[in-house]
Amino acid sequence: MEPTLVPAEVQGKVEAYTQVASEPAPAAVSASAEAESLRQEIISSGRKLWERQYVDGNAGNISARIGQRYLLCTPTRVSKGEMSADDICLSDMEGNILAGNRLRTSELLLHLEIYKGNADARAIVHCHPPYATAFALTGSAPPFGLHSEYETMIGPAAVAPFETPGTRAFAETVRPFVRDHNTIVLSNHGIVCWADTVTHAEWLVETFETYCRTWLIAQQIGRPMQPIPDAKIEEILAIKRRMGLPDSRMV
């Protein structure tokens, strides 16, 4: 008797289902060593954001994927400079809190939109750095093509239109940009950055804020800024391809 041949697309769905179904229960995931390590990374990055004055009060939020079905996220109404491991919640991909004693931030919807739109996004930082947020107030991003580090790590930043924070409409504003940009200016609000780790997402915040500040300082010199030659931009894009970083200029 000949073996039954299963179409590749069906086999792929079966394998994906088996992988998800085999994941531990939420309580086990929340108590795992991986979750504890991610919590400490979130706490460390939150403290850096607060110390750099990229967040004030209880503003900003951080999340990180854990497996295929879950993510860890910061709660609402907690300063990012004063978080403990017990503050970090476990959520599913629909925003339901499965472990933790705090209420989730309403802006978790923003994070979920990015995760669902780009499988490469494993961690997200949303905050309000002053110079970056100054651009957000104008509904614009700083010019690109001028600074090598900025070009390598970020490049053109997207600008999402304003919507009321915390709403589903707000979360959906980033949908067109999540594949080709790792940094998005949220008009009249702040910025959101995604990367493969929480630490790397926080680095993108630092890179973007520093570039915004540097560009504004350079304007005060009173001399034209010198763009990076197109040929050199192509070399930078080649580096980004090797690093697996997104850029809307790459086809």
How far is it, in rounded angstroms, from Cα 142 to Cα 198? Answer: 24
Query: Between 86 and 24, where is the model more confident?
Result: 86
4 is a domain residue: no
Amino acid at site 24: P
Give the pLDDT band of residue 13 (cuts 50, 70, 90): very low
Going by C-alpha positions, the residue among 118, 121, 140 that lies closest to residue 191 is 140
pLDDT digits (tens, 9 = 90+) for 152-203: 999 999 999 999 999 999 999 999 999 999 999 999 999 999 999 999 999 9
Residue 195 burial (CB count, 10 A):
22
CATH of the domain at 126: 3.40.225.10
15 is a domain residue: no
Q: Which long-range contacts (CB under 8 A, 24 or more apart) does 28-33 make?
A: 29/66, 29/67, 29/70, 29/90, 29/99, 30/90, 30/98, 30/99, 30/100, 32/66
* Structural domain range at position 34: 25-243
% of the chain residues with pLDDT over 70: 91
13 is a domain residue: no
Residue 10 has pLDDT above 50, yes or no: no
Predicted TM-score (pTM) of this structure: 0.90
Give the pLDDT band of residue 4 (cuts 50, 70, 90): very low
Q: What is the pLDDT of residue 134?
A: 98
Residue 220 DSSP label: T
19 is a domain residue: no
pLDDT digits (tens, 9 = 90+) for 69-88: 999 999 999 999 999 999 99
**What is the mean pLDDT of the segment spanning 33-46?**
98
pLDDT digits (tens, 9 = 90+) for 94-120: 999 999 989 888 999 999 999 999 999
DSSP secondary structure string, 165-197? TTSHHHHHTTGGGTTT-SEEEETTTEEEEEESS
Residue 14 burial (CB count, 10 A):
11
Number of domains within the chain = 1
251 is a domain residue: no
211 is a domain residue: yes
Q: What is the pLDDT of residue 191?
A: 98
248 is a domain residue: no
Structure tokens at 25: 């229960």
Residue 49 vs residues 57, 203, 240: alpha-carbon distances, Å: 12, 10, 26
Q: What is the pLDDT of residue 15?
A: 42
68 is a domain residue: yes
Going by C-alpha positions, the residue among 154, 213, 162, 166 that lies closest to residue 186 is 162
Q: What is the pLDDT of residue 1?
A: 41
Amino acid at site 183: T
The residues that bridge with 158 in the sheet, in sequence order, are 184
Which residues are catalytically annotated? Answer: 107
Q: What is the pLDDT of residue 22?
A: 65
Q: What is the pLDDT of residue 17?
A: 40
